[in-house]
Each structure stands twice: as structure tokens, then as C-alpha cells.
């Protein structure tokens, strides 16, 4: 009996805590569900921009796919050059790699800028500032276009590097 009372007391304390936590979570879920609906009502006004953003993302992914394929070919060519002992072809690409490094740094800066702009756009939407949200959305789209053009430059530099191996 002495062991049963503390056990029952501990069980009742734990279960009352679980009930309280689950009730608090239920309120959170309802608030989050309401916020999601609010977000989509705002996004409905930006349907054209959303479609453009999706098209830009598809284009970016296709360019990244090309870049990855070119890097794979370049890796194969690099290994073949290593086996043959043609060191000069490998070292001749140093200027090209320096240019690619600059492009990569510019890409990172653009991606950070796009991230910050997108955050500002979402904050403007939450604040019901439709004009500012539209401005930020258009800025974000133009930054994404710049990112795609930089990726195109990177792809062209990889083409140059591949041409030197042939």
C-alpha cells in the first residue's frame, strides 16, 4: 500500500501534464491552420508571379542538371589526362577555374539576397501590405533571373574547360 499511493500520485501528475500540453497543442494547430488559409488568400493575388517563379525554378534546375553532367564529363577527362600524364591541359584551366570561383561567389551573394527578399515579401504579406509584397515578389523574380543567367555563365565556362581537353 505504501508503494501504491506515491505511484498513483505520480501517475496522476503526469497525466494531468499530458492533458494540458495536448490542449495547448490543439490551440496551436487551429491557429496555424487559419494562418495557412490566410497565406493562400494572399498568394491568390500573385498567381501570375507564382507561375513565373515556378518556370524560373524549372529553368534553374535544368541548367543545374546540365552543369552536373558537364562536371561529370570534366571529371572523366581529368582522370584520363592524369593517366596519360598530360599535365599541361590540367594546369591550363587555372584561369577558367578562377573565373568560375568568382561566378560561384556571385551566385552565393545573389542567393542570399533572394532569400532575404523572399523573407521580406512574406513579412509584408503577413502585415497585409499588398503593395510592398508585390514589389518584393518582383524583386525576387528579377534576382532569380540573374541567378539563372549566372548559372548559364557557369555552364559556358565548363564548356570552355571541356573544349580544352579535346
Residue-wise pLDDT tens digits, 116-152: 999 999 899 888 888 999 999 999 999 999 999 999 9
**pLDDT score recorded for residue 165:** 74
Contacts of 43 (CB under 8 A, 6+ apart): 50, 125
* pLDDT (average), residues 70-96: 79
Q: What share of the chain is helix, strand, coil (3-state, %, to 5)?
A: 95, 0, 5
**pLDDT score recorded for residue 61:** 96
Tens of pLDDT, residue by residue over 3-39, are 667 766 666 766 766 555 555 566 665 655 555 666 6
Whether the per-residue pLDDT at 154 is higher than 70: the answer is: yes
Amino acid at each position: 500500500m505504501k508503494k501504491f499511493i506515491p505511484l498513483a500520485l505520480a501517475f496522476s501528475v503526469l497525466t494531468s501534464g499530458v492533458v494540458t500540453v495536448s490542449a495547448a497543442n490543439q490551440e496551436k494547430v487551429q491557429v496555424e491552420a487559419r494562418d495557412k488559409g490566410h497565406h493562400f488568400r494572399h498568394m491568390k493575388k500573385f498567381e501570375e508571379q507564382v507561375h513565373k517563379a515556378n518556370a524560373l525554378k524549372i529553368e534553374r534546375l535544368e541548367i543545374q542538371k546540365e552543369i552536373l553532367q558537364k562536371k561529370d564529363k570534366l571529371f572523366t577527362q581529368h582522370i584520363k589526362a592524369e593517366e596519360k600524364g598530360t599535365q599541361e591541359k590540367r594546369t591550363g584551366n587555372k584561369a577558367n577555374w578562377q573565373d568560375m570561383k568568382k561566378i560561384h561567389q556571385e551566385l552565393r551573394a545573389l542567393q542570399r539576397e533572394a532569400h532575404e527578399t523572399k523573407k521580406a515579401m512574406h513579412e509584408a504579406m503577413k502585415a497585409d501590405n499588398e503593395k510592398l509584397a508585390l514589389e518584393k515578389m518582383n524583386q525576387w523574380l528579377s534576382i532569380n533571373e540573374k541567378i539563372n543567367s549566372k548559372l548559364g555563365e557557369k555552364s559556358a565556362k565548363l564548356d570552355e574547360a571541356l573544349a580544352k581537353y579535346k
